[in-house]
Amino acid sequence: MRKSLVSAIALALAVSAGATLAMPAQPAAAASLAPTQLPRNVRPTHYAVAITPHADKLNFDGRVTVDVQVLKPSTRITLNAAGMTFSSVTLAPASGKGAAVKARVAVDGKTQTATFSFDKTIAPGNYKLAMDYVGTIGTQANGLFAIDYPTASGQKRALYTQFENSDARRFIPSWDEPAYKATFDLTVTVPADEMAVSNMPVASKANAGHGLEKVTFQTTPKMSTYLLFFGLGDFDRVTTSSDGTEIGVVMQKGKGAQAAFTLESAKAVLHDYNQYFGIKYPLPKLDNIAAPGSSQFFSAMENWGAIFTFEYAMLLDPAYSTQGDKMEVFNTAAHEMAHQWFGDLVTMDWWDNLWLNEGFASWMAERETEKVHPEWNTVLDTVGVREGAMSVDAVATTHPIVQKIATVEQASQAFDTITYSKGEAVIRMLEAYVGPEAWRQGVHNYLKAHAYGNTVSDDLWHAMDGVAGGKPITQVAHDFTLQPGVPLIKVDSAMCSDGETTLKLTQGEFTKDRPNKQPLRWHVPVIAEVVGNARASTLVDGSATLKLKGCGPVLVNAGQTGYYRTLYAPAQLAALKQGFGKLAPIDQLGLMSDTWAEGMAGLEPVSDFLDMAKATPADAKPEIWAEVAGSLTGLDQYYRGDKARQDRFRAYAVAQLKPVFARVGWDARPDESTSTTLLRTQLIGALSELGDQDMLKEVRRRYDAEATDPKAVPPALRKIILAIVAQHADAATWDKLHAQAKAEKSPMIKDRLYGLLSYAKDKALAQRALDLALTAEPGATNSAGMIRGVAWQHPEMAYDFAMAHRAQVDKLVDSTSGGRYYPSLGGSSFDPAMIAKIKAYEATIDPSARRPADAVIANIQYRMMVRKDRLPAVDAWLAKNGG
């Protein structure tokens, strides 16, 4: 699954293929079951599912017959079911010999289970459990849900399913846990003029009368319930093929041209993955289904053979989409396609090991993006991914990559930055530690050994032990996945003698909020170099000595594959700053990131980063200036509400960035790099955010001129210009944007325009956006995002509004997002009163679901600390440096 790309802020912008798969034995039961896991007395092996949806009534009729193995004498069968009413449940011997017996049904809404009780004990053996029921079609992305969207010919309604992590139970009564793999036959009775899509190709169609058609799909491979998919609507489908597999993109009619890039990309990615994994994609087709709307929880889902993605993350509209959108589309497709192996073919045993799905898919997508599109230079993005993880991992509310999951809500909360970004960063480090080819062989061995089965993390480490050449990969992996936190590598000394530098390193722990914390301990793979000389590596366990070729500035974490921070002595850092231009761009980013984070944490002067930013030449790499711009706008937020100090800081920051934008300019050059194209948008956003009046006037001029001069707002800049205009809107401008949103017929653009209405700095307009969000007008899946959009500029207003209308807002948030949505609204606040409000909210929810709220509280406390303890040093630096 790809985490949601919907943002409240627009301004922050040698293994052979085709190996034979072994079919494993049934996975062993988890060592200790979570309290919400099902009894282990029955195991399903096959589901025959028949569904008749009634889209107009938002319900559906269902019948499912499950082939089950009763493993021990039982009088009850318990499975998962939510939001459905049963009319008949029977159990019959699979052999057909013996009468079916009726069950008494007891549904427990709190535990999302149904228990079927029988008068006589059921002997161990094979049976068929048949269930007739009626289910609900929702309006948020959980279970079977409906999306209404505009077209030139009027409103349309399409149906889709979303089951991860625990919502297949809303579609079929089932053993809705990842370890209960089974095969599926799906038959649907649907309007004959609409297209039905599922994991497998259509096996047959038959006239069902009354304008209906019975569509039966081929049997799926053995897979987990959360990977089943069904979609229905007025669709088009475009296709290509790769290595004998049909690849399709399914989307609303008339949008085929916007799917061309995804289709072309999927063809290349599937071929590369077949080669890399050494295991050919096993299904006959792979569809990518694009849907209007959005979710606060996810942007795409890896259903086996039927990847679901919201339109904004799959389709490219030439009138609106940007280079950044194109890169996100590719990365999203590559992420979900990686899941076809990591997650679908081999699945974690329980949600504790979710990172085996998400961390690997994130890492593989980045690797594939670097391979297919080297011109995008996305290897530099890996520093940002790591920084995002470390920012979360360095506070008390963090958790290990492998975490204990006890409830459905905790499983939903596990889809977070630690699982995705830290997982990706740690895999990148481990790959560098054992070597890329050995790592690939280990991945192949792991997938081949566990195909169609379930695993825990140690299954992967055991596979890596066999190819790591004696390196203690399991020890290193355990240190980084079973405990939380960020190692800190301190460069105690660097002594040069006879053309060789001896480096002495010690280990601590980097933390943002616990300066006196007793540090944890890791085995840390460290790569270092004397700048311009050969690299050397060591494993730091407490302390280590490393000899390097040459004399001069020493760079630790050369290549930036390590998941740790590096703390240099002042003289060492000064030498690196002096030779900054000699560093590779990725190491420049890494050094700046460490310097910024350590300055904010009080481990070194904040002025170290400001000195580095000030010394950055105007012709530095675009990625370096993007880092500077992002840090300056981030620092600006800490001054919010203190106009005099903020104006002084902004004068300095604008003076830093304006010359860079003058070099980049408004107009794209034919030969410019992708990084320059992205920097243009970033600088327009940053200078506007910093209140540069020249930039704001030019943005407004272009917006006003678009009606008579189409070139005033080129497609590549339309999104950022509209976002800035919306943020600084007056009532007349807000009304104009609102009218555009109501009139727009493209769902993707319409959704975006409604989102813009929530960006206004003006409090009265922000209140209008909140009020509008509670109406049906924006669309059921957009309203929660609008409230979150208001929260960026007005956290207190948005939080209080949502809590005052909680019953209504609950209906606008998909259930998998509920536990984190409300606390997140207060996340940008500096007001201590917000902490009290979130604690009051915590008191209303289960203690096991409070981590997201605790994390928001910790972040507010950290931001308050920075404002109190760090900004005075920034003020002092500005006084000396022309602020």
> Which tens digit of pLDDT belongs to each residue from 615-628?
998 889 999 999 99
CATH of residue 469's domain is 1.10.390.10
One domain, residues 77 and 167: yes
What is the DSSP pairing of strand 500-510 with strand 524-530? unpaired
| Confidence check: pLDDT of 336 > 50 | yes
CATH of residue 510's domain is 2.60.40.1910
Tell whether residue 358 is among the known ligand binding residues: yes
Query: Is residue 532 in some structural domain?
Result: yes
One domain, residues 145 and 172: yes
Query: Is residue 223 in some structural domain?
Result: yes
pLDDT value of position 815: 83
Segment (H or E) for 146: strand 143-151
Query: Is residue 585 in some structural domain?
Result: no
Known catalytic residues? 336
One domain, residues 74 and 186: yes
Q: Give the end of a domain, one of 580, 604, 626.
A: 580
One domain, residues 407 and 497: no
Q: Say if CB 261 and CB 316 are below 8 A apart.
A: yes
| Backbone CA torsion sign across 389, 392, 396, 398 | negative
| Confidence check: pLDDT of 503 > 70 | yes
Query: Is residue 417 in some structural domain?
Result: yes
What average pLDDT does the segment 476-488 reach?
A: 98
Q: Write out 774-828 in H/E/C secondary structure.
A: CCCCCCCCCHHHHHHHHHHHCHHHHHHHHHHCHHHHHCCCCHHHHHHHHHHCCCC
CA pair distance 148, 542, nearest whole angstrom: 58
Q: Which residue has the tokens 């943005």?
A: 699
Give the count of domains, the chain: 4
Q: Where are the beta strands (DSSP E) in 466-510?
A: 486-497, 500-510
CA pair distance 852, 835, nearest whole angstrom: 13
pLDDT digits (tens, 9 = 90+) for 633-689: 999 999 999 999 999 999 999 999 999 999 999 999 999 999 999 999 999 999 999
Query: Is residue 749 in some structural domain?
Result: no
pLDDT digits (tens, 9 = 90+) for 368-399: 999 999 999 999 999 999 999 999 999 999 99
Tell whether residue 264 is among the known ligand binding residues: no
One domain, residues 494 and 480: no
One domain, residues 471 and 492: no
One domain, residues 370 and 444: yes
Query: Is residue 384 in some structural domain?
Result: yes
CA pair distance 330, 461, nearest whole angstrom: 29
Q: Give the end of a domain, one of 207, 233, 259.
A: 233
pLDDT digits (tens, 9 = 90+) for 229-263: 999 999 999 999 999 999 999 999 999 999 999 99
The average confidence (pLDDT) of the chain is 94
pLDDT value of position 761: 97
The amino acid that residue 226 corresponds to is: Y
Q: Say if CB 406 and CB 36 are below 8 A apart.
A: yes
Q: Give the end of a domain, one of 340, 366, 388.
A: 340
Query: Is residue 591 in some structural domain?
Result: no
pLDDT value of position 556: 98
Among 323-332, 375-384, 404-413, the least confident range: 404-413
One domain, residues 107 and 203: yes
CA pair distance 643, 304, nearest whole angstrom: 53
Query: Is residue 76 in some structural domain?
Result: yes
pLDDT value of position 10: 37
One domain, residues 280 and 310: yes
Residue of 181, 11, 138 whose CA lies nearest to 684 = 11
Q: Say if CB 248 and CB 285 are below 8 A apart.
A: yes
One domain, residues 290 and 227: no
CA pair distance 356, 424, nearest whole angstrom: 10
Domain range spanning residue 530?
486-580
Helix boundaries (H) for 555-604: 570-578, 585-600
User: How many CB atoms are closer than 10 A to CB 840?
Assistant: 10
pLDDT digits (tens, 9 = 90+) for 808-832: 999 999 888 878 999 999 999 999 9
What average pLDDT does the segment 13-31 reach?
A: 37
This model's pTM is above 0.75 = yes
What average pLDDT does the segment 78-86 reach?
A: 98
pLDDT value of position 883: 63
One domain, residues 220 and 261: no
Tell whether residue 706 is among the known ligand binding residues: no
What average pLDDT does the segment 767-792 reach?
A: 96
One domain, residues 220 and 257: no
* Whole-number Cα distances in Å, 455 to 30, 224, 347, 773: 10, 13, 6, 43
pLDDT value of position 237: 98
Segment (H or E) for 833: helix 832-842
What average pLDDT does the segment 564-578 reach?
A: 96
pLDDT digits (tens, 9 = 90+) for 720-747: 999 999 999 999 999 999 999 999 999 9
Q: Say if CB 798 and CB 825 are below 8 A apart.
A: yes
| Confidence check: pLDDT of 6 > 50 | no
Backbone torsions φ then ψ of 585, nearest 5 degrees: -50, -40
What's the angle, vertex CA 750, arms to CA 679 and CA 57, rounded to 5?
140
